[in-house]
Amino acid sequence: MFHVVRQRVVRCSTEHAWACLTEPAKLTSWFGDTDSISVGSTTRFDFGDGDYFIAEVLELNRPTDIHMSWRFMGIGQTFTVRVLLSPHSEGTEVTVIDHGSLTVEEVDSLREGWDDFLMRLSQFVDNGGWVRYEWSQTIGISVILGSRARRPFPTEMVDSAWLTKHFPDAEFEIERPDENILTLRFGERSWAGKQTEALLESRALAPDRLYLGVVHKGWENLPADSCLRERRRYAGLWREVMAAFENAYGE
């Protein structure tokens, strides 16, 4: 497994930075919705577009150390995240250490994500107010399957009848450019002739472990009054599909 380390100096005291990272009312303005953060608790960070993290709070050492583990959408790989706060001549140095990535592509994505996280924290510290992103234009979910999964994809995933069962309102175009890649183009009657595209990838991590990921794009191209609603709906559908694979084939 890989780890990602990102840092940024924010212009405030460590106590204020701590409050921005642990108080739900402040987190809502720059990161995501959550009810409470306390040691031993399970909390949900909800981003309003169908995406969320389910986190377990492991340690809170005020005002310098936050330690938690979380899973995106409550499935897939467990990541451990440590946020360290250190006094700095210009305020507080915030260091994020994220451990659990299994692929180089995932590492690159997390670097980008944490840089955005720290930028929004800095903006909130400087200006207050709402600085969260509106919504993500990409649905991305992955799970790790065990030796029982048929390779390179579980057979259900290339069965049009199975796809119709799980995405009942959609019509599909299916392409398989190689054995480890599957492209699905989705269209629905209410989408005014527009399509979205899901890229599915399988990858052997070890003889008995299979990475299965989906990246579904194109939501911003749908009619403006429905793009966010449809993005939320499909995030839920993909979560159900990937959770079913994890339950059936995970170790």
Q: Residues 208-225: what's their mean pLDDT?
A: 95
Q: Is 44:52 a contact under the CB 8 Å cutoff? A: yes
At residue 207 the predicted structure's pLDDT band, cuts being 50, 70 and 90, is confident
Neighbours of 62 (CB within 10 A): 12
Three-state secondary structure along 161-202? HHHHHHCCCCEEEEEEEECCEEEEEEECHHHCCCEEEEEEEE
The reported pLDDT for the residue numbered 99 is 98
Cα gap 94→78, rounded to integer Å: 22
Share of the chain above pLDDT 70, in %: 100
At residue 211 the predicted structure's pLDDT band, cuts being 50, 70 and 90, is very high
CB burial of residue 193 (10 Å; 0-12, 13-18, 19+)? exposed
Any idea what the Cα angle at residue 248 is, between residues 243 and 251, rounded to 5°? 95
Distance of CA 6 to the CA centre of its chain: 17
Q: Residues 40-46: what's their mean pLDDT?
A: 95
pLDDT tens digits for range 13-38: 999 999 999 999 999 999 999 999 99
pLDDT tens digits for range 218-244: 999 999 999 999 999 999 999 999 999
Share of the chain above pLDDT 90, in %: 84
At residue 105 the predicted structure's pLDDT band, cuts being 50, 70 and 90, is confident
Cα gap 35→55, rounded to integer Å: 12
- The token pair at 13 is 């005291």
Note the pTM of the prediction, 2 decimals: 0.94
Neighbours of 19 (CB within 10 A): 16
At residue 158 the predicted structure's pLDDT band, cuts being 50, 70 and 90, is confident
Please check the confidence at residue 251 and state whether its pLDDT lies above 80. Answer: no
The reported pLDDT for the residue numbered 237 is 97
Fill in the amino acid letter for 131.
Answer: V
CB burial of residue 177 (10 Å; 0-12, 13-18, 19+)? exposed
